[in-house]
Amino acid sequence: MSAQSKTFPHPNPPPRAGEGDERAARQSPSLPPRAGEEPAPEALLIGGARRADGGGLERIEWMKIRQDFPILQRKVHGKPLVYLDSANTSQKPRQVIEAVDAFYREHNANVSRAVHQLGEEATALYEGARTRLAAFIGANHRDEIVLTSGTTMATNLVAYSYLLPRLKPGDAVLVTAMEHHADIVPWQLICKSTGAHLKVAPINEAGELIVDKFIEALTPEVKFAGVVHVSNVLGTVNPVKELARECRKRGIPLLVDGSQAAPHLPLDVKSIGCDFYCVTGHKMCGPTGTGALWARRELLEAMPPFFGGGEMIKTVSFEGTTFADSPRRFEAGTPNIAGFAGLVAAIDYLSGIGMANVAAREHELLEYATPRLQAIPGMRIFGSAPGKAAVVSFLVDGVHAHDLATLLDQEGVAVRSGHHCAHPLMQFYGVAATCRASLAFWNTEAEIDAFVDAIGRVRKLLA
């Protein structure tokens, strides 16, 4: 496959040895053109939607975009698949699947360890993910991006590399009552080993963070704060820009968990003003085992390594080791290179559609679904914050969440049931579990109708 192939549509070949990571990343076969350059003709069409001259889209052919997702054509238990579990993991368009396949077929080699052609191509693809992610979330520089296996690894990296050396007995870490376990457990582990403790900012019954209480909790003992951008259970979109501003006034670093925001909203970490931001690739149409930590450059440069091994060093002797500059000092060992090749394709795919268009479409679907679900007798929906994302957690009177999800699966409808890695939030609402339907831009109104009808049939079955 040539560098101008369908899977990697870019006119520039991979760099030659010795030309540096920056140029390697710029010439990755899937990278966008520099400002003022003309994009390759192949890049003008993504999933049937054509770019307008102003950078937006003239029209969005959502049904044609849906055809990019092969799995949506299959049947489950003889019924057409209705996939409503995107908050857990997104489905993958063929462009991402082909990018991973093409890596193994055409470019497979390790990164940064060879001067041969395959090694250069693999490095270009891997470093291209860093560049693409930086642009996608609005970072100042690609070297503010640490490539990780996802948000969980990113939060643990911050916990052990940044926070552990700084906490002491009596200090506190502030989180909210709606956090995912990945923004609770790492801080608990660090608190236990340092004598610090966890503080929790409350939410109200509608699933909104009580912002005044969060600000009141930013007392001198608080040395760090973590908040989810979009709740994976409630869909609540937290005012992270305001929270970051209040933390910054007090000199408290803030980490934002962007796992549920990056697939659904336009992002600009500079505008948010936080200190750390985490994303997970498999929730944004990319492969599993991919993600990133963004951090302010001065913070990264002051952080010691978390993992040790190959790739994160300058020199090693038995007397001591000198480490690579950030972000590479945090990327020990062989990474998920094929996965990041796929993530490049995923970011290109989402960017081609436009994240503002994604957000608008998903809002339309939520507005369509909500009144139809509310009309179901015995339906209880958790989370009604204004402007929420397209996530609906619910229970139906008299039906256990797991039973409901199992019976919906027999109807071809895939929803999530359980605590959604948010035990404390379930405790707040006094339930053991909920069902969760999470929508994505490829879903349709007809699928929502099928979902609502399936709940009706299940209720009759269990009556």
pLDDT in tens, 229-244: 999 999 999 999 999 9
* Spatial contact of 248 and 215, defined as CB atoms under 8 Å apart: no
How far from 369 is each of 66, 191, 398, 403, CA to CA, in Å? Answer: 19, 42, 22, 22
Tens-digit pLDDT profile for residues 109-141:
999 777 899 999 999 999 999 999 999 999 999
Domains of the chain, first to last: 128-351 (3.40.640.10), 355-462 (3.90.1150.10)
Provide the pLDDT for residue 365: 97
Tokens of 129: 């993910």
Q: With the CA atoms of 213, 219, 222 and 223 taken in that order, what torsion angle do they form, in degrees rounded to the nearest 10?
A: 120
Residue closest to 254 by CA, chosen among 236, 271, 272: 272
| C-beta of residue 107 within 8 angstroms of C-beta of residue 122 | yes
From 344, 395, 337, 328, select the one nearest 43 (Cα to Cα): 344
Q: What are 175-231's pLDDT values in tens digits?
A: 999 999 999 999 999 999 999 999 999 999 999 999 999 999 999 999 999 999 999
Q: What single-letter DSSP state applies at residue 278? A: E
Interacting residues of 392 by C-beta distance below 8 A, sequence separation 6+? 235, 366, 369, 370, 373, 381, 383, 436, 437, 438, 439
In the numeric block, which tokens belong to residue 47? 């999933």
pTM of the model: 0.87
Instruction: Report yes or no: 39 and 23 within 8 Å, Cβ to Cβ.
Output: no
**Which of 54-58, 93-97, 426-430 has the least mean pLDDT?**
54-58
Burial of 438 (0-12, 13-18, 19+ CB in 10 A): buried
Q: What are phi and psi of 197, to 5 degrees?
A: -145, 165
Is 462's pLDDT higher than 90?
A: no
pLDDT given at position 377: 94
pLDDT for the residue 87: 97
DSSP 265: S
**Residues with active-site annotation:** 421
Per-residue confidence at 15, pLDDT binned at 50, 70, 90? very low
pLDDT of residue 326: 81
Over 50: is that where the pLDDT of 39 sits?
A: no
| Continuous segment of H or E residues that includes residue 347 | helix 337-353
User: Given a cut of 80, is residue 405 above it in pLDDT?
Assistant: yes
- Residue 360 has which token pair? 């608008």
pLDDT at 316: 84
341-368: average pLDDT: 97
Question: Please, which pLDDT band fits residue 390 given cuts at 50, 70 and 90?
Answer: very high
Averaged pLDDT, 434-458: 97
The beta strand positions in 248-289, using DSSP E, are 254-257, 276-280
Q: Write out pLDDT tens, residues 241-293.
A: 999 999 999 999 999 999 999 999 999 999 999 999 999 999 999 999 999 99
User: Encoding tokens for residue 354?
Assistant: 């436009």
Q: Token pair of 382, please?
A: 């958790």
DSSP letters along 351-404, please? HHH-HHHHHHHHHHHHHHHHHHHHTSTTEEEE---TT--SEEEEEETTB-HHHH
**Phi and psi torsions of 116, nearest 5°:** -75, 165
Q: Is the peptide bond before 424 cis (omega within 30 degrees of 0)?
A: no
| d(C-alpha 324, C-alpha 333), whole Å | 13
SS3 of 161-182: the string is HHHCCCCCCCCEEEEECCCCHH
Question: Residue 254 in contact with residue 227, Cβ under 8 Å?
Answer: yes
